Structure 1
C-alpha cells in the first residue's frame, strides 16, 4: 500500500473506533443512574466503597443516606459524563482494540503476531487484576483517611474529588502490575538475566516500597502496603520465570543448566576464582593447563632454548656438534 492508502485506512479505522467510543459513552451515561438486567447502576457501584465508611464518619450516614455533594451547578453533569466516558472506553474496548490490531498486523511477521498477541493479552489481564484489587482496597483506604479526625470533622466528599481519587488508585494499581511483565520481556530479550535480579533482589524490594509510598493516592499506609506487597510477589514470580528461562537458554546452548546460575551461594557470598574454567571447542569445560616453570635469566643460550624433554636445539641431530659453545653464542 502507498502512503496515501495507509493514511486513508488509518482514518477509516479511527472513525470506527471513535463511533464505538461514542456509543459506549452513551450507554455508560444511561447506565450511571439505571439498573441494567438486574445489575446495580454504575453510580451505585462507584460509591459502594464510600458507603462502607462507618455511618458516623460521613455526612448523612446516621440517617441512612450515602450520596456525594455537589459544590457547583455542573458538578453532577460532569461527574456523570466522565463516568459514562470511562465506561464507554471499557465497553467499546473490543472494537477500538480490534481496529488498532487490524492496522498494525499487516506489518508483523507470524512469530511477531504471536508474541504481540500473547503480551497484549497478559498485559490486559494484569491491568484488570490490579484495577479490581484497587477497587477492594479503596474502601480500606477511605476508612483510614476519613477516620483520622472523626471527633472534629465529618466527611462530605464531592463526586469529582472522589472520582479523581478512585480513578487514580485504579490506574496506579493497574499500571504497576505491568512491571513484572516488562521484567519478563527484558529477560526474554537477553537484557536482564536472572543473576542480576537475584543479586539486586533487596534493592528491588526497597524500590517497590518507595514507589508505592509516592505513587499511591492519599499515601495511606493500607493502600501502600497492599500495593508494595503485591508488586513484590509478582516480581518474585517474574524472577523465577527468568531463572527457568536462563536455565533453558543455557541448556539449549549446550552448556550446563547451572552455567550462569549460582543458587548454591548466599546473597552475600561470591563465587571462587578457582571454580571457573575455560570453555572448550565443544562448549564444555576443560581442565586448567599448568604453567611451565620459569628459567633463570643468566642461563646459557643452550639451556634457555631447551624444550620440555630437556634437549637443546641441535642435540642428538648431529648438526649442533660442529659449533662450540662460544661460537653458538656469537652466532645467536
Structure 2
C-alpha cells in the first residue's frame, strides 16, 4: 500500500504561518495609522474652530461699546441714576472681565457657522447618503432657530428686568453691577436659544422613527405641563415674566413641531 508523502497540515498551524502573521501586522498598522489620521484631522478641525472664535471675539471686542449699548437698552433709565442707567463695576478688573466675556460670547455666536461646518466636515465621510441629505438642512435650521431664540429673548428681556428691579424698589436702592446684569442676560438668551431648538430635536427623532406626530398629540397635555414646570427652573431670576415667556415659546414650538412632522412624514 502506497504511503502518502504529503503530510496533512494542522489547521491551527496554518493560522500562524508567516504570511498570515504579516497580513495581521499590516492590518493592525493600517488601523493604527487610520486612527492617527482621524485624530490629526480632529485636531485641525478644533484648531480652525478656535481660530474662528478668536477672530470673532477680537471683532466683538473692537465693537464692545456698541454691543454694550445694545445689551444695556433693556435696563430702565431710572436705575443707577448717578450713572445714567448704566451698570456699575465693583472691582478693579470687573470692567475688563465683563468686556472679555461679552466678546467671547458674541465671538462664539459669530463663529458658530464655521464651528458647525468644521464639525460637519469631520463626520460627513462616515455618514450615509440619506444622512448627508438631512445634515445640511438640519444645521441651517439649527442656526436659524438659535438666532430666532436669542432675538426673541432680547425683545422680551426688558419685562423681567424691569419687574425684578421694581419689585425691590420700595425696600432697596438699585445699584446694578455689570457682572450680575450681563450674567443674567447671557443665561436668559442662552435659555431661549436652546429652547428654540425643540422643533429640530423632535423632527430628528421623527425622521429616525423614534416618535410620531400621533405620539406627540397623545402626550400633548403631559408635555405642556412638563415644559411649563421646566421653564421655571431654566430661566434665571425669580420674576414671573421669564417663565411665562419661555413656557409660551416652548408650547408654541411643540405644536409647531407636530404640524411640521405631520407634513414631512407624509
Q: Which interval holds the TM-score relative to the shorter structure?
A: 0.7 to 0.9
1:10 aligns with 42
1:59 aligns with 80
Cα drift, residue 188 of structure 1: 2.3
In structure 2, how many angstroms separate the alpha carbons of the residues matched to 1:77 and 1:115? 43
In structure 2, how many angstroms separate the alpha carbons of the residues matched to 1:141 and 1:49? 9
1:257 aligns with none
Cα drift, residue 190 of structure 1: 2.0
Question: Would you say 1:128 and 2:159 are equivalent positions?
Answer: no
SS at match of 1:49: coil
Instruction: List alignment gaps of at least 5 residues for structure 2.
Output: 1-32
Q: Is the 8 A contact 2:149 2:189 kept in 1?
A: yes
In structure 1, how many angstroms separate the alpha carbons of the residues matched to 2:99 and 2:262? 48
Deviates more, 1:131-140 or 1:20-29: 20-29
* Higher RCO by CA contacts (8 Å cutoff, separation 6 or greater): 2
In structure 2, how many angstroms separate the alpha carbons of the residues matched to 1:190 and 1:99? 28
SS at match of 2:226: helix
- Normalization by structure 1: what TM-score? 0.66
In structure 1, how many angstroms separate the alpha carbons of the residues matched to 2:84 and 2:115? 39
Question: Would you say 1:107 and 2:99 are equivalent positions?
Answer: no
2:67 to 38, 42, 64: 42
Q: Is the 8 A contact 1:27 1:88 kept in 2?
A: yes
Between Structure 1 and Structure 2, the one with more helix by share is 2
Instruction: List alignment gaps of at least 5 residues for structure 1.
Output: 34-40, 249-332
2:248 aligns with 229
2:166 aligns with 147
2:137 aligns with 118
Structure 1 vs Structure 2 CA RMSD: 1.9
2:87 to 53, 68, 78: 68
Cα drift, residue 64 of structure 1: 7.5
1:241-265, Cα deviation, whole Å (9 max, x unpaired): 344456x2xxxxxxxxxxxxxxxxx
Question: Would you say 1:163 and 2:182 are equivalent positions?
Answer: yes
1:46-88, Cα deviation, whole Å (9 max, x unpaired): 21111xx251xx121xx68122111111100100111111122
Structure index of larger Rg: 1
